[in-house]
Amino acid sequence: MENYETYEYDVLVVGAGGAGLRAVIAAREAGCSVGLVCKSLLGKAHTVMAEGGVAAALNNMTNPDGTKEGDSWEVHFVDTMKGGAFLNNWRMVEIFAKEAPERVLELEQYGAVFDRTPEGLIAQRPFGGHRYRRLNHVGDRTGLELIRTLQDKAVGVGMNVHMEVTLTRLLKDGDRVVGAFGYYRSSGKFVVFRARAVVLATGGWGRMYMYTSNSWEGTGDGVMMACEAGAELIDMEMVQFHPTGMIWPPGMRGILVTEGVRGEGGILLNSKGERFMFNPEYMPPLYKGQFAETPEEAERWLVDKKNNRRPPELLPRDVVARAIYREVEAGRGSKHGGVYLDVTHRGAEYIKRKLPSMYEQFHALGNLDITKEPMEVYPTIHYAMGGIRVEPETGATSVPGLFAAGEVAGGLHGANRLGGNSLSDIIVFGKRAGDGAAAYAKTVEHGTIDPAQIEEEVDYLLAPLEAQSGENPYQIHQELQEAMQKHCMIARTEKGLLTCLEKIQELRRRAQNLKVDGDRFFNPGWHAARDIRFMLKTSEVIVRCALERQESRGAQWRLDYPDRDDAFWGKVNLIVTQVGDQFRIERRPLPEMPAELKALIEKYGK
Amino acid sequence: MEKVTLKVFRGDVMGGELVTYEVPTQPGMVVLDAIHYIQKNIDGSLAARWNCKAAKCGSCSAEVNGKPRLMCKSRVDEYPEGVITVTPMRAFPLLKDLVTDVSWNYRVSAKIPPLVPKPEVAGKPFRMQQEDVDRVQEFRKCIECFLCQDVCHVLREHDRKDGFFGPRQMVKLAALEMHPMDNLNRREQLKNEAGIGFCNITKCCTEVCPEHIHITDNAIIPLKERVADDYFDPVQGLLRRVGLIKREKKQPMDSVPNEQTRIHTESLQRAK
Ligand SMILES: Cc1cc2nc3c(=O)[nH]c(=O)nc-3n(C[C@H](O)[C@H](O)[C@H](O)COP(=O)(O)OP(=O)(O)OC[C@H]3O[C@@H](n4cnc5c(N)ncnc54)[C@H](O)[C@@H]3O)c2cc1C
Ligand code: SF4
Ligand code: SF4
Ligand code: FES
């Protein structure tokens, strides 16, 4: 077998989004040597694309009468639990709501420059499901600010960066994860990392769907590598459909239109010009009475947030996405099969200042001036609520030596994530996982790397290049996307899910025999061959869990089980493990919430 | 369906050529869509970088008809002749096809220490007015596409990467130098290691910036003035010495530890 380089670190961080970078800083500050691996260049992870803001209850905003709005970690806790339809891990939410403000202020110390209030504090904007103005932001490019700040800080604390390396397998010594294996995308050379602890911060998965806001990176490698190494996954059926993706022109379909548009007063209209979110049918009982009931009230709210209720466009994402879906199904869709999102009434100057990148995106790529015309939008696959199950305090997974944080981890968001909660998730739990991994690394020696595991993976990787004939990975990908888009999207049924599962199994069989042209030197076709196998397995898990959960909750909307079943399904998470080549699904009771947190829900939930 | 002709550079350090592809067009199509079409339907081994497909990440930089551009922001219908030539950035070593080795940019960037908050605000929420940060926010829009680095003649024609950090890093340094809370003296680095003197204000960088950052007018020229004030202006120097002009005293560069960050890249040799 060919030679490969081996690098040794106390802590190996996989992923250079916000979660990975924050973990690097934490592990470095704890005195560990740190290696960072990512598939793209530094600063290009999904985090860079985030627009709307980072949610943290800083309570910076004032009412017209000069009083503070009154936000607190308690209200953020309750909003997040409600938004997640109470499937969330309460302890994670508690830690999250309490620590988010500190983490955001720390970004400022690292060099982030947020928009300011008239008093000179960090400005906050309203977002779906958040009771108060809570999203700390920089126009509509908050993710860029966050990733660049953390990138510069992480570089400043000192680490070894391996850019454009794809890891494909975690290496184990007995029960414990002791390293990882992969290849340099540019040269195709193999590389081994030996580490006392590994932090997975590989982000989400959306590429198995046809229309998604995710980049090529979102193929589920991290979550499947963990699963293959024995880790438990949680809530995998919960995939977020962001209500407003672009729908026209065709090449832009799926690209995100930030919720910030609605936060800044944007309204949703159907083809008849009706502001359909006021339709009482779309109002979930949990939120009844908390939102404006007339467009006039919603209009007044723009200037006086204390004495008026929020517009229903700011309901949680699952609710708005379903409403859009139903409007289009009912024949009230826009020209290209979506609905209209109109922010023109806010005036050109305001729009260009608060939503500059949306203005530019539509202007340059959509032939549309959003200060003059409404946008056309339709739900797009956006975010994975589910993921690797972790210990709230440390990010430890169920496998020793393996930690996880950020979108790849599950449990915080329950059945639906509120906008803005992901950027605070990645900094809160990125730090915790970095601390957790560093503490663990100090208690163990390096493990032994088993060459047999590497050889097996090498064979697996090289097979498509050596094959004389076989399937094209792009073709399999296309068929997977069609099946998932059709059957495992926003509205699900048993029949559709079973059809989808059958298709996935057929594709998994066909994917055992792939063939790609060219050599190992920066060859996207070859990379696609490994990615597709991760995507197929991740899709299978999503579909199986969607079949298992026979109710509608958050992002899981089953047409054949339209009701929320709190008595049974509301009390269990679905936990997935891989046994042999099969997935095992367990219904595990939610941990019991302590009385003082229950009391908070009573107090602020109404 | 209408078609567009793409001439794409294919090759590596060993040599290469423009290869012609016919790609069906769609409304609103961008050059990156055409590249993806080729990968999917004609040749899966065509190498190109991309991530966001919405001009937000700065991955897909290349030269379109000889001009440094983001491929995801270059509409095919901007080129009515129907022939589009796509080549890799020229200022950086070629890896393969449209992919170049841009790691040098990360290595010089690592020489610039991040914000060091002034002692009176360290650990406390900052109080800053919007108008005091507008300027800095313009610079922080940078998506690190390195198109400005690609076009700058100091780096492109004269290959003075040993002496000049390039316009991208001038923008980064400007954001720090003009940050109301930064306490590090950035001018010494600007003058010496970063080589601001190499820039002769041709403004080519500003023209190609997809984020419309006024690199020369708002970053480089004011920085040059500040450096000149410090180092070359005898009147200012005198007034300062006798105490008629007060400038805040910031801490020197060498007062902060410079941790070694290593950016690994792979050699250009083909793996067999
Ligand atoms: C368009 C868009 C807009 C968004 N807007 C918002 C918003 O306004 N507010 C908000 O809170 N959230 C938003 N989100 C969600 C949020 O951006 C992400 O959930 C979050 O950034 C995820 O961060 P992360 O660090 O977990 O992962 P990512 O940023 O996705 O990073 C994953 C990293 O893992 C690496 N990686 C993956 N697989 C491998 C492998 N096999 N080997 C090596 N490295 C690997 C990748 O290269 C990458 O560096 C948005 C998301 C998108 C796509
Ligand atoms: S203005 Fe200066 S930095 Fe910009 S391209 Fe010209 S020489 Fe280079
Ligand atoms: S300054 Fe502009 S051109 Fe230069 S790297 Fe940044 S975004 Fe690109
Ligand atoms: S793909 Fe992100 S800028 Fe073009």
Confidence label for B230 from pLDDT (cuts 50, 70 and 90): confident
| B210 and B171 share one domain | yes
CB-nearest to A161 from B58, B73, B262 is B262
Per 3-state DSSP, chain B is made up of helix, strand and coil in percentages (nearest 5) of 35, 15, 50
As for ligand 2, residues whose beta carbon falls within 6 Å of it are: B 151-152, 154, 167, 199-205, 215-216, 220
Tokens of A152: 């510069």
Which ligand 2 atom lies nearest to the CA of residue B151? Answer: 5
**pLDDT exceeds cutoff 80 at B242:** no
Same structural domain for residues B143 and B56?
A: no
Domain of residue B172, residue span: 103-271
**Same structural domain for residues B21 and B145?**
no
Tally C-beta pairs within 8 A across A and B. Answer: 214
**Is A344 in contact with A374 (CB distance < 8 Å)?**
yes
B179 lies in the same domain as B78 = no
Ligand 1 atom with the shortest distance to the CA of A256: 1
Residue nearest to atom 4 of ligand 2 (CA): B205
* Res A151 pLDDT > 60: yes
Q: Are residues B72 and B190 in the same domain?
A: no
Length of chain A: 606
Whether the predicted pLDDT of A62 surpasses 90: yes
Using the structure block, give the residue that is written with the tokens 């989808």. A500
Q: Please tell me whether residues B71 and B90 are part of one structural domain.
A: yes
Cα within 13 Å of Cα(A80), Cβ side: 33
What is the pLDDT confidence band of residue B271, given thresholds at 50, 70 and 90? very low
B41 plus B146 within the same structural domain? no
Decide whether any atom of ligand 1 lies within 6 Å of the A421 Cβ: yes
Taking the centre of ligand 4 as the mean of its atom positions, its distance from the CA of residue B199, in whole angstroms, is 27
B266 pLDDT higher than 80 = no
Sign of CA dihedral A68, A69, A74, A76: negative
- Beta carbons of A283 and A76 less than 8 angstroms apart: no
CA distance A103 to A430: 10
Q: Say yes or no for a CB contact (<8 Å) between B44 and A518.
A: yes
Write out the two tokens for A319.
């609710």
Which residues, 6+ apart, have CB-to-CB distance to A307 below 8 Å? A300
Cα separation, B259 vs A461, in Å, equals 36
Instruction: Please state at what angle helix A142-157 crosses helix A90-110, rounded to 10 degrees.
Output: 70
Q: Are strands A5-14 and A190-200 parallel, antiparallel or unpaired?
A: parallel
Which of the listed residues B100, B115, B132 is the one where a domain comes to its end? B100
Contact A576, A397 (CB under 8 A): no
The per-residue pLDDT for range A85-119, each reduced to its tens digit, is 999 999 999 999 999 999 999 999 999 999 999 99
A548: nearest Cα among A565, A535, A536, A533 = A565
Fold observed for domain A241-381: Flavocytochrome C3; Chain A, domain 1 (3.90.700)
* pLDDT value at residue B229: 85
The rounded percent of chain A whose pLDDT value lies above 90 is: 97
Number of neighbouring beta carbons within 10 Å of residue A235 = 30
Atom 7, ligand 3: residue with shortest CA distance:
B142
- Domain shared by B57 and B145, yes or no: no
pLDDT at B245: 65
Which pLDDT score, from 0 to 100, does residue B237 have?
66
Residue A253 a catalytic site member: no
- Cα–Cα distance measured from residue B255 to residue B261, given in angstroms and rounded to the nearest whole number: 18
β pairing state of A34-37 and B262-264: unpaired
Nearest ligand for residue A23 CA = 1
Taking only the tens place, the pLDDT of each residue in A299-312 is 999 999 999 999 99
d(CA B147, ligand 3 centre) in Å: 6
Whether residue B109 is found in the same domain as residue B163 = yes
Q: Give the mean pLDDT of A519-542.
A: 96
Peptide bond into A249 cis (omega under 30): yes
A481 half-sphere exposure, CB direction, 13 A CA radius: 17
Cβ-contact A104, A97 below 8 angstroms: no
Shared-domain flag, residues B147 and B265: yes
Closest CA to A358 of A257, A450, A440: A257
Whole-number pLDDT of residue B270: 47
Mean pLDDT score, B207-214: 97
Under CATH, which number does the domain A5-238+385-441 receive? 3.50.50.60
pLDDT in tens, B67-109: 999 999 999 999 988 899 999 999 999 999 999 999 999 999 9
Q: Which of B37, B67, B100 is the last residue in one of the domains?
A: B100
Cα dihedral A379, A381, A382, A388, rounded to 10, equals 140
* Interface check A353 vs B, CB under 8 A: no
Q: Could you confirm whether A162 is annotated as catalytic?
A: no
| Residue partners of A308: CB distance under 8 A and separation at least 6 | A292, A297, A298, A300, A301
Ligand 4 within 6 A of B60 CB?
A: yes
pLDDT digits (tens, 9 = 90+) for A361-383: 999 988 899 999 999 999 999 99
Q: Residue A350 to residues A139, A347, A359: CA-CA distances in angstroms?
A: 11, 6, 11
Side-chain half-sphere CA neighbours of A189 within 13 A: 16
Number of domains in chain B: 2
CB atoms A156 and B113 under 8 Å: yes
* pLDDT (0 to 100) of residue A366: 87
Mode of pairing for the β-strands spanning A233-234 and A387-389: antiparallel
> Which residue from B106, B180, B169 is spatially nearest to B137, judged by alpha carbons?
B180
Using an 8 Å Cβ cutoff, are A276 and A353 in contact? no
Check pLDDT > 60 for residue B17.
yes
Model pLDDT for residues A220-275, shown as the tens digit of each residue: 999 999 999 999 999 999 999 999 999 998 889 999 999 999 999 999 999 999 99
CATH number at residue B267: 1.10.1060.10
> Over the stretch A188-223, which tens digit does the pLDDT of each residue have?
999 999 999 999 999 999 999 999 999 999 999 999
Chain A (443-502) residues lying within 8 Å, Cβ to Cβ, of chain B: 472-474, 478
Confidence of residue B254 (pLDDT cuts 50, 70, 90): confident
What are the residue boundaries of the structural domains of chain A, listed by start? 5-238+385-441, 241-381
H or E, element range at A426 = helix A421-441
Q: B230 and B119 in one domain?
A: yes
Average per-residue pLDDT for chain A: 96
For residue A558, the one-letter residue type is R
- Let me know if the fold of A5-238+385-441 is the same as that of A241-381: no
Same domain, B87 and B115: no
- Min CA distance, B78 vs chain A (Å)? 11
ipTM: 0.94
Interface of B with A in 141-180 (CB under 8 A): 141-144, 175-176, 179
